[in-house]
A and B are shown apart, each in its own frame.
Chain A
Amino acid sequence: MQKISFNEDRSAVWLAFLFIALALCLPLGIGNLLGWVLGVKVWTDPFTALAPLGKSFSSMPGWISLIATLAFIALLLLWERRRFPENKKAFLLALLIVLTLTMIGWVLGHAGIVAAVPNEREKLGLKWSMGLTGEAGYLAALFIGLIIGNFFTPFAKFLSQAARTEWFIKTAIVLVGAGVGLKGLEQANLAGTVFFRGLAAIVEAYLIYWALVYLLARKVFGFSREWAAPLASGISICGVSAAIATGAAIRARPVVPIMVSSLVVVFSVVELLVLPFLAHAIIPQEPMVAAAWMGLAVKTDGAAIASGAITEALYMAQGGFQKGWMLMTTTTVKIFIDLFIGVWCFILACVWVYGIDRKPGDKVSLKEVWDRFPKFVLGYFIAFALFIALGLCFPEKIKDLKESSTNLDAFRKFFFALAFFSIGLSADFKRLWQEGLGKLILVYVVCLFGFVIWIGLGISWLFFHGIMPPTGVTP
């Protein structure tokens, strides 16, 4: 493999902004230039799993959308590396294989038996499922990478030229900014009471959970900073995106946040299966407290929203409440927490550059700070601010912006999946998982059951106690 100096940070930002520019052609009235991008649904029949996301492309067969998505990403990545003296044909071949295998993992991870959460089972005609949500696609991509990395070493070496974990991660994180910005704007229009109380969730997740988990990981379990920071973000904020963004902001090796995130995805199933029923058992008269608790305690977006839906179903059966209020509360709390990932990463990046990586007596010039500062964090902010500004200035375009953001989210998820595949390919992750997992699980269990869910319950009680969803038939 050739060693080439390639600035993945800057390239990721440019690449992500190219996606964003194309997506914004829709609200600008030019057309839905990314509407053909593949959306993968939770499936029981694989032929129904694939479909283009854009409504205007609904007649396009799923397989054409699949090929178009893979070809488009391949061409863009190839174009980004046009100035590097590698064998272009070999790179393109390796890239196409990496993209295809990741997509296979992503689609397999959406199989109903793996991904369907309890409230989806009836619709899909399933009696049982693992309930891992669509994020199981990350684990499936990781697993395929692992098999190749461990059993087909020469093939893994060939693929490794195109399996560029950091490039994929950073591109995905800039795209997260666009989606989060718009979601924040949508939530701002929701009921004021829920909105105000959602602010408490941000404070709790970032300023209390994060600090406690970090302190515990560092002082009690003896983890290094590189492990403790992504672990704290994974447990306290929102799983995959937060752990990966934090890892990149503090310049941790990519395998560290990927390992933390895979643990978070697995653990969110436990939370999803236990917490709604626990809430219903211990606080049967407080539906909104229970709903907010799900948003605070369940750590991946998919699992948190599914927990909110299960909670709502449990409480509606007893109280005749209007549908949607509890789910809205869970979603608002979760999205509020997600909104500040970029701010938190920015703070962490500054603390690491100024306070931790700087050697005693070093005077770091502004230029050096700029050089060392992760550019993708700024890319995230610009994307975040751009979508909020567009939504505020052109409220009539929110629907189009939402569709643009949905298209970008499909790319974001796929780039994360590519990162998981690349990690499986490049490291002996199986051994790492087997031998290093015990300690990580211990921190996770101690933090989650020791204080995260109980502080979450206490604060949800404090801020939502006595508030009831409207009763009667849903209008």
Chain B
Amino acid sequence: MNNHPESEKLVDELQNQPYEPMVAAEIWLVSLSLITGISILIILALVLKN
């Protein structure tokens, strides 16, 4: 079996993912997605109901 250093690094990463705090851009992306998504679904549901 060969041992690729890159694979060793990846296995280590998967098992012990280094702590990488969420930055502002990620928080914005997730929050905006959820708020926009839920709002659009409510609007679509209301339009369909009427």
Q: Is A227 within 8 A of B14, CB to CB?
A: yes
Which of A224, A432, A459 has a CB less than 8 Å from the CB of B20? Answer: A224
Given contacts A435-B14, A440-B14, whether A207 and B37 have CB atoms under 8 Å apart is yes
Which of B2, B25, B44 has a CB less than 8 Å from the CB of A149?
A: B2
Tell me, yes or no, whether A185 is within 8 Å of chain B by CB.
Answer: no
Interface residues on B, range: 35 or more
CA distance A462 to B3 in the complex (A): 52
Q: Do A428 and B7 have beta carbons less than 8 Å apart?
A: yes
Residues of A within 8 Å of B, CB-based: how many?
47
A-contact bits for B19-45, CB 8 A (1 contact / 0 none): 110111110111101101110110011
- Residues of chain A contacted by B11 (CB below 8 angstroms): 431-432, 435-436
Q: Which residues of B contact A212 (CB under 8 A)?
A: 34
Q: Which residue of B lies closest to A222 (CB)?
A: B17
Interface of B is mostly: helix
**A221 — which chain B residues lie within 8 A by C-beta?**
17
User: Roughly how many angstroms separate A156 CA and B3 CA in the complex, as a whole number?
Assistant: 13
Decide if B40 touches A428 in the complex (CB within 8 Å): no
A432 touches B37 (CB 8 A): no
A215 contact set on B, CB distance < 8 A: 30
Q: Tell me the bound Cα distance from A199 to B47 in angstroms.
A: 13
Report A-chain residues with C-beta under 8 Å of the C-beta of B4: 426-428
CB distance from A353 to the nearest CB of B (A): 10
Q: Is B50 an interface residue (CB 8 A)?
A: no
Are A208 and B33 also in contact (CB < 8 A) when A436-B11, A439-B14 are?
yes
Contact B25 A354, beta carbon cutoff 8 Å = yes
A420–B38 CA distance with the chains assembled, in angstroms: 36
5 residue pairs A–B, Cβ–Cβ below 8 Å: A150-B2, A208-B41, A256-B10, A427-B10, A440-B14
